[in-house]
Amino acid sequence: MNGDELHGAATPSPSTQPRRRRFLTIPNFISVGRLGCIPFFVAAALTGHHNLAFTFFVTAGVSDIFDGWIARRFNQKSSIGAVLDPAADKIMMFSAYIIYTLVSAIGHRLPIWLTITIFMRDLMITFFAYMLYTRIQVRRFPPSLAGKTSTVIQVITLSAVIAANGTFAPIALPLLPILILLALGMTLFSGLGYLRRGRLLLDEQLATG
């Protein structure tokens, strides 16, 4: 291979440079970092280091707020970020729910009926979004205010149950029953709201079609 060929192979084409720059954004790096901390969170929780698990979980939550703000404020939104960010959130939340519901060695856990209710609501939303896309080509089914509030309460509830197994137990334990009921109520309320929105969209399409 001569020098010109080597130089040409090493230089990205103009069409790939914007896409590469769009991938190499601060929000995407934060999302990748959040994904990377999930195994450490799981290891800490399963080995009884709940203070460390709490630190990882809260750090992930705070970083989620910041990467979203940076993406909006500095116009660093990207298609890969639209996948990385929710993937990191869902995997972290799923891991926390499974561990702090099912692992019997953990002293303070979430009731299984709450975790099942939350998982069923998420599956219902996914199914409805799929139905709306396949039947009436609705490509976006954005979260409602109730849905966002439900997610915030779920994060706080998970933080509290993790904290209840560590140093902050005296603060977290009295709050946990209230947070569990709030999480259940908002999960059901937001789930019904999504059902209503989906039905209205279907009815509107049928009426105009």
Query: Hey, where are the domains in the chain?
Result: 12-106, 108-209
**21 pLDDT band (50/70/90 cuts)?**
low
- pLDDT at 105 > cutoff 70: yes
pLDDT reported for residue 16: 46
Q: Is the pLDDT of residue 20 over 80?
A: no
Split at pLDDT 50, 70, 90, the class of 2 is: very low
Q: What is the pLDDT of residue 75?
A: 84
pLDDT one-digit tens code per residue, 110-155? 999 999 999 999 999 888 888 888 877 777 778 889 999 999 999 9
In the prediction, which pLDDT does 135 show? 79
pLDDT tier, 166 (very low <50, low <70, confident <90, very high otherwise): very high
**Has residue 37 got a pLDDT over 50?**
yes
DSSP the chain: --HHHHHHHHSPPTTHHHHHHHHS-HHHHHHHHHHHHHHHHHHHHHTT-HHHHHHHHHHHHHHHHHHHHHHHHTT---HHHHHHHHHHHHHHHHHHHHHHHH-TTSSS---HHHHHHHHHHHHHHHHHHHHHHHHH-----PPPHHHHHHHHHHHHHHHHHHHTTSTTHHHHHHHHHHHHHHHHHHHHHHHHHHHHHHHHHHHHHHHH-
